[in-house]
A and B are shown apart, each in its own frame.
Chain A
C-alpha cells in the first residue's frame, strides 16, 4: 500500500515538473505580440475600404494618337526554367495590387513551371508582418510587394536581396525605360537597388473640365486658385441629379491618407531648389521644416477646403472620395494616378466624368520659403529656379508606389525575381496601368508615350493626352519632392503628423500651434532614435552623400 502511495505521489510530482519545464520553454516576446496582432487583424480586416471596380469592357473606335514601336516580347525566364519551384509572395489585400498579381500568375506558371502563391493582408498589418517575416532567416515568404517608403526599415538591417546584379543581367526588362525617379530614387536605398517598381505613385489634381469651363475658370496652378475654384463652384449640380455637389473632395480622415495630402499642398511652399533640397527636414541638422510660415499656409488652405467638400469630409478616406468622383459629385480632387482609369470606368463612372476629367500637375505657389530668413518670399529667378509661369511646383511622390522586393534569405530568389520581372516588363505592365482595378499607375516612359493603349482602354484622345501629359510633367520635374523615407518614417507621418493635423482640423490647435507641435514631436522622436543616424539616412535618400 505504501509503495502504491509513493508511486502516486511521484507521478504527481513528475507531472508538475513536466508542466513547469514545458511552460518555461514557451517562446516569450513573440507570444505576446502575436496576441495583439491577431486582435488587430480582426478589426482591420472588416474595415478596409474597398472601392469596387469593374474592368472596362467598352468598345471604342480606335484612333491612333502616337505611333510606338512594337515592344519586344519578354521571355520570362526561359523554357520551364523553374519547374516545381514554389514562390510565396506577400502583399496587400483588396482588388488592386494583389489582383493583377493573381491574374498574371497562371501565365507565368505555364511558361516556367513555377507555382505562385499569393498571400494578402490588410494595409495596416502589412508593414509589421513583412518586418517580422523578413527578419526571420526561415521566413515564410520569398517576395514582398510593399509601399516603397518602407524600404529603409527592411533594407537597412540587411533583410532584402540586392537586385542590382539581377537587373543588370536582364536586358529584356528594359530597365532604362523606367522613368529616372523610380529607377534612381524610389527603388534604391543607400545606392543599392532593392525593389522593382510595379506601380508609380505621386499626386496630381483632377478637375471637371465642363464645370470649370461653365464657370469661366482655368485649371488651378496654385493652391490659392484651387481654393478659389472650390469656393466658386461649390453647391452646383455637377451630375444632373438635382442635388448640390461639392467644390473639392479630399479625404481628410485620420488614419487615412491625410498626411500625404497635407504635404502635397505644402510641397510648393517648402521645396523650390530641386529634389535634393528635400521637403521634410533641414539637411544640416534635421530641424523639421514643418514649423514654418509655408507649412502653416498649407495647413490653412487644407482646412479652408473642408467647408467646400462633403459634410463628413473629415471622416472619409480616399476610397470614399474616389466613389464621389466617379458619381460626378466633385469639381476638384487631389489623388494618385488612379483617377484616370477610374474615370473611364463605364460601369461606375457617370458620363459627365467619363468625358470631362481633366488632369493637371500638382499645384504650387507663387511664394516659397526662404530658409535663411525663415520667411515666405515671392518667386523670382533665384528663389524659384524651376518655376513655370512664376509658379513653383513641387510634385509630391506621396507613397511612392507598390514595389517588389525579395527576402535575402529566400531559397528561390531567381524564380521570385523572374516573376517580378515578368510583372514589371512593358508587355504586361503597359496594359495593367491602363486598368483602374489593378491599382497600378504608370512608371515607364513607354507608358506615357503610348497613348494608344489608353485610347483602347476607353479614354478619349484629348483626355489621354491631358492625363498622361500631367503625369509625365510631374514625374519629370527637377523639383519633384520625395516622400519621407527614413527609419521609423511611419512614426513621423502616420502617428505624429496625422494625429496633429487631424486635431488641427477639429479645431484643437491653431495652424501655428499645430505646426509647432508637429515640429516639437518630430524633434523629440529624432533625438530618441539618434539625430546623427536619422540625419545621415535622410541625406542619403536625397542623394546628398
Chain B
C-alpha cells in the first residue's frame, strides 16, 4: 500500500502508532476483493442456497394448513423412508419381480465393469495392498449398512421397522454417511492430515459404485422381469428408473442423431441453410405443444398418420401407443428426442465449423479413410463441447414433466411417470413434505449422474485426444 508519505520509513525509523481509522482502511484494502464480492455472495445465498435449505427442511416435515398459516411438524426422515422403504416404495423404486436371464446377464456385465473400474482406481490412486483394500471395503460396507439401518429404521415417527433391501440400505446409508463426511471435511479441512484427505475421493467412488450397483439391481428386478401367468411382467419400474430411462436413453439418442445431422450438414450441401433452420424449429415450440402434437401423431385411429399406421404397419384403429407401458415410454422419449436433438445439432455444428483446418487438410493429403478422419481428427476436437452439451441435456432431461403429463398423464399405470410428476402428484394431494422429499431425491439423482458423468468423461476425453 505504501505510497509517497511512508516511504521514508524504510531506513528503520519508528512508525507513528496507527489510528483506528488507518487500521480499518488497511483491513479493507487487504480484503477489498472479498468485500466487493460480498453482496453478490449474499444474493447467491439468499436466492439459491437459502431456498434449498428451506425445502430440505420441508422434506423433513409434515405440513398441514391450519388457521392463519402452516402447521409444520418435524418428522425426521419419515418422508424419505416412506419413498424408499415404505408405502411409496412401489411408486419410487418399483415392484420387485423375477428377473429374466437377459436381465441377469446385463447385471453381471455391470458388476464386472464396476469391479474393473474400482480395482483400476485403487491401483492407480493408492498403493494399498490387496488385504488392506479388502479391509477398507469391508469397513465401508459395515459403516454404510450401519448408517442405513440407523437412519431408516430408528428415525421414523412410529419407530416401526420398514421392509428393507440389503443393497438399498447399503447404497442409501453409505451415501448419507458420505455426504456427512464431505461436509465435515469441508469444515475441518485445514486440520486433517493429507492421508485422510486422500481417502476422500476413493470413498466417493466407492459410494458411487454402490449406488450404481443398486440402480442396476433395481433395473434388473423391475424392468427386465419374467411375465406372470397372465403374460404381464412381474416387476414394475418405479419413478427413479423411469427418470433415468428418459435421461439416459433419451440423451444418448439425441446426441447420436444430433451428431449425425451435424456431420451431414457441415459439408457443402445444396439447401444447407434451409435444412439448418428447419431442424431448429422443434426447439422453439413450447413443450406442451410438442406433447399435444405427439399425442395426435401417435394416435392410430384418428391421428394424421392413421393411413401410415394402417397400411404400412397394419395397426389401424385398434392399437394405441399409450395403452402399453413399453410403447408409451418410447413415445414420450421420441417426443423429447424430437424436440431437443436440434439443440445438440446446433452446438455441434458450431464446433465442427470451428475445427482447425490444417489438421483436416493434412489428413486429406495423407489419404485418411472417413472413419479414421472422424476418429482421429473430428472426435477429439468436438469432445469437450460434446461433454458440455450432454451434461446440460442430462440436467435438463431430469426435469421432464410436460411431455408425459400431456401425452399419457404418467400412465398406463406409472409407466411414464418421472420423479417430477411424482412430486407433483404428492403436492397436489397437499403432501408438501412428501413432495419436497421426492424433489430432493431427484436433486440427489441429478447431482449423482452429473458428477459421475464429469468425473468419468474427463479422463476419457484426455485419453482420446
Residues of A within 8 A of B (CB): 2-3, 5-6, 9, 12-13, 15-16, 19-20, 23, 26, 28-29, 31-33, 35-36, 40, 43, 46-47, 124, 127-128, 131-132, 135-137, 153, 157-159, 244, 253-256, 310-312, 314-315, 488, 490-491, 494-495, 499, 502-508, 510, 517, 520-521, 524-525, 527
Contact = CB atoms under 8 A, between A and B. Distances in A.
Contacts of A312: 299, 301, 320, 322-323
A124 B412 contact: no
Contacts of B72: 29
A490 B411 contact: no
Given A315-B411, A507-B231, A520-B87, 9 more contacts: A254-B412, A314-B411, A315-B320, A490-B430, A499-B91, A502-B411, A505-B413, A507-B232, A507-B325
8 contacts: A43-B406, A46-B286, A157-B66, A312-B301, A312-B322, A508-B95, A510-B228, A517-B90
Given A135-B69, A494-B428, A506 B25 contact: no
Interface of B: 21-22, 24-25, 28, 35-36, 38-39, 42-43, 45-46, 50-51, 54-55, 58, 63, 65-70, 72, 86-87, 90-91, 95, 158, 228, 230-233, 236, 286, 288, 299-301, 317-320, 322-325, 401-402, 405-406, 408-415, 424-432, 435-436
A305 to B, nearest CB: 14
Contacts of A314: 320, 322-323, 411-412
Contact of B230 (A137, A153, A494, A507): A507
A13 B36 CA distance: 10
A538 to B, nearest CB: 18
Nearest to B231: A507
A315 B45 contact: no
Contact of B65 (A43, A132, A311, A503): A132
Nearest to A37: B427
A216 B430 CA distance: 50
Contacts of B322: 312, 314-315
Nearest to A491: B429
B55 A508 contact: no
B323 A255 contact: no
A36 B420 CA distance: 11
Contacts of A33: 432
B217 to A, nearest CB: 19
A311 B91 contact: no
A314 B406 CA distance: 14
Nearest to B411: A254
Given A2-B25, A12-B35, A128 B430 contact: yes
B31 to A, nearest CB: 10
8 closest A-B pairs by beta carbon, nearest first, are A506-B413, A507-B232, A506-B412, A503-B413, A23-B46, A315-B322, A312-B320, A254-B411
Contact of B427 (A12, A40, A135): A40
B71 to A, nearest CB: 9
A36 B65 contact: no
A24 B66 CA distance: 24
A334 to B, nearest CB: 19
Contact of B54 (A32, A43, A499): A32
A503 B414 contact: yes
Contact of B28 (A9, A20, A128, A502): A9
A313 B270 CA distance: 46
Given A36-B427, A157-B65, A510-B230, A315 B236 contact: no
B415 A29 contact: no
B19 to A, nearest CB: 8
A504 B288 CA distance: 28
Contacts of A9: 24-25, 28, 35
Contacts of B43: 19, 23
A132 B427 CA distance: 13
Contacts of A527: 158
B25 A16 contact: no
Contacts of B231: 507
A517 B88 CA distance: 11
B236 A503 contact: yes
A255 B428 CA distance: 11
Contact of B87 (A15, A256, A502, A525): A525
Nearest to A46: B288
Given A15-B39, A314-B412, A508-B413, A158 B25 contact: no
Given A31-B51, A157-B67, A508-B232, A256 B58 contact: no
Contacts of B325: 506-508
Contacts of A490: 428-430
A227 B238 CA distance: 33
B66 A135 contact: yes
Nearest to A131: B65
A325 to B, nearest CB: 16
B232 A47 contact: no
B54 A311 contact: no
Contacts of B301: 310-312
A124 B428 contact: yes
Contact of B401 (A43, A153, A315): A43
A495 B429 contact: yes
A13 to B, nearest CB: 8
A286 to B, nearest CB: 16
A522 to B, nearest CB: 10
A128 B429 CA distance: 8
B152 to A, nearest CB: 16
A40 B317 contact: no
Contacts of A127: 428, 430
Q: Which of B28, B299, B318 has the most CB of A within 10 A?
A: B28
A506 B65 contact: no
Contacts of B300: 311
A40 B424 contact: yes
B54 A29 contact: yes
Contact of B411 (A35, A488, A506): A506
Contacts of A40: 424, 427-428
Contact of A491 (B21, B54, B431): B431
Contacts of A26: 46, 50
B430 A5 contact: no
- Interface core residue of A15, A29, A132, A157 (most chain B CB under 10 Å): A29
Contacts of B51: 31-32, 35
Contacts of A135: 65-69
A379 B393 CA distance: 61
Given A310-B301, A490-B428, A2 B22 contact: yes
- Considering residues A23, A255, A504, which has the most beta carbons from chain B within 10 angstroms of its beta carbon? A255
Given A23-B46, A490-B430, A311 B317 contact: yes
Nearest to A254: B411
Nearest to A16: B38
Contacts of B410: 254-255
B291 to A, nearest CB: 8
Contacts of A12: 28, 35-36, 38
A533 to B, nearest CB: 12
A254 B91 CA distance: 14
A495 B435 CA distance: 12
Nearest to B301: A311
B221 to A, nearest CB: 14
Contact of A524 (B28, B87, B299, B415): B87
A383 to B, nearest CB: 32
A13 B286 CA distance: 45
Nearest to A307: B318
Contacts of B430: 127-128, 131, 153, 488, 490-491
B21 A6 contact: yes
A2 B424 CA distance: 58
A254 B412 CA distance: 7
Contact of B39 (A3, A16, A31, A495): A16
Nearest to A521: B87
Nearest to A520: B87
Contacts of B230: 507, 510
Interface centre among B58, B317, B410, B430 (most CB of A within 10 A): B430
B405 A36 contact: no
